[in-house]
Amino acid sequence: MNIKKKLLWGFIWRMFFSLSLFILNIAFAKYFGAIESGQVYFITTALSLYIIFSSVNIETGIGFYAAAKKVNLTTTLFAGLLFTVISVMILLLLQYFPATRDYFSGKSWDWYYSVFYVTGNLLASIFCALFFAYNNYVWPNVILACCMLILAAFFVINDQFWFYTREESLFVYFFFFIVQALILILGFISKHRKEIKLNVSVINKRHLKSIIHYSLIALISNVVFFLLYRMDYWLVEYYTSASELGNYIQASRFGQALLIAPSIFSAIIIPRIADKSIMRFDKPAAFAFVILAFIFLFFLIFLLFAGPPFFKILLGEDYIHMYWPSVIKIPAILFLSFSFILGTWFAGINKIIYNIYSTVAGVVVIIVSDFLLIPAYGIIGAAVASLLAYLAVFITSVYLYNSKTNQRFGDLLRFCRSIVKNRRRYAKELWANLNLIDY
């Protein structure tokens, strides 16, 4: 299968996983309700931030160097396992102290819930990065999607027949993070066992330092992006009720579902830029821009016509306040998605610093906007603040793309117009031979 077909199938399978994750989110939210599900998502947001810091975002460096074929597989696996152990050990230490325990665990949770979440998510991220680096987009997405669908089915069935209590169901939810990680590990090892050497002498210290160095730069980028995307959770939690927080988090997760498409694009394209399979970015980026614009326009029109009853029917009475934040989030996430696409090129050529610059611009805007709008307008003000911040990120990304590359945003827009104007021809070519994207 050539590179073009691999990219297309990677996008299709990643969308399948994303759809399963969206289904799980609906099932989980309906089962636990706005307040309880909001609390779970609030704490797992803190755990996600903890994972980024404690692991120094090691999966990013692993994926980059594995795709570029600059580091042997044993060294990348050692780096991943080393930082997984470090992350879990620090978490156990933090949970020992009452002052920090509440940030990473619910009041009724057992200590190992957070350990399941951190270990499972970190290992899954590492081995997904390795799968992608080796041009395998099917296995990781199928494994993750099946786990998500099984878990969603569990909540739907248990909601009807109550085989398990809520406490037992929550245990199943967190334990599934370990299950999916173990399946990914076994799947990867079964395909690449001949390349793995169980010999410490094979581990290259210089290459290990290179992985950590790249990951540390990516860490800064991801931390800043995390603040941009989720810092409003804490201000909403401070200024509004638990029910409104649950509604806002669900509206944000709805927006996060729309962010999946550019995330898929980045996950698939970055390794191919790193190994120089892709030398010019304007045509792939234009294709992504057009597809995203149509997807977001469809959802915006759908929500405007469906009205507030849509979320009431989909999720239940608890979620009647998430409609307008969700509507406002759609154009906001579109601007952020466009920034994602432009940032893919910088990540692939090891110039992540430029992505940090654009994200910092957004963080400055969202800090000011949140403090001005949330106390007065609640979760609608938070959504408007996100719109302003993501627009700032996009404008800065366009400026950096024009000034720091030998490609121009105007050329990208011309390709966009050409795709829209000749959409039927491009669709036929894409379906037949993927001739839309010339590398």
* Mean per-residue pLDDT, 231-244: 87
pLDDT of residue 39: 83
Confidence category of residue 342, pLDDT binned at 50, 70, 90: very high
**Once rounded to an integer, what is the mean pLDDT over residues 180-197?**
90
Question: Count of CB atoms within 10 A of residue 435's CB?
Answer: 12
What pLDDT does residue 4 have?
58
How many angstroms separate the CA atoms of 106 and 96, rounded? 14
The Cα–Cα gap between 283 and 234 comes to 39
Q: What integer is the mean pLDDT of 265-271?
A: 76
- Taking 50 as the threshold, does the pLDDT of residue 439 lie above it? no
Q: For residues 255 and 260, give the distance between their C-alpha atoms in angstroms, rounded to a whole number.
A: 9
Q: What pLDDT does residue 6 have?
A: 65
Q: Flag whether pLDDT at 161 surpasses 90.
A: no
pLDDT of residue 176: 94
Q: In angstroms, rounded to a whole number, what is the distance separating the alpha carbons of residues 261 and 98?
A: 40
User: Is the pTM of the predicted complex or chain greater than 0.85?
Assistant: no
In whole angstroms, give the CA distance from residue 259 to residue 263.
6
Q: What is the pLDDT of residues 89-107, one digit of tens each?
A: 999 998 888 777 777 887 7
pLDDT digits (tens, 9 = 90+) for 61-79: 998 888 877 788 889 999 9
Distant-in-sequence contacts of 163-166, Cβ < 8 A, 24+ apart? 166/32, 166/36
Which residues fall within 8 angstroms of residue 69, CB to CB, at 6 or more apart?
Answer: 275
CA torsion, ordered 81, 84, 90, 95, to nearest 10 deg: -130
Identity of the amino acid at 90 = I
Return the pLDDT at 434: 46
Q: Which residue has the tokens 């829209």?
A: 420
Structure-block tokens of residue 82? 């080393």
Predicted pLDDT of residue 22 = 84
Q: Is the pLDDT of residue 297 over 90?
A: yes
- CA separation (Å) from 193 to 76, 202, 217, 240? 14, 15, 30, 52
Q: What is the pLDDT of residues 1-44, one digit of tens each?
A: 455 566 667 677 877 888 898 899 889 988 888 788 888 888 88
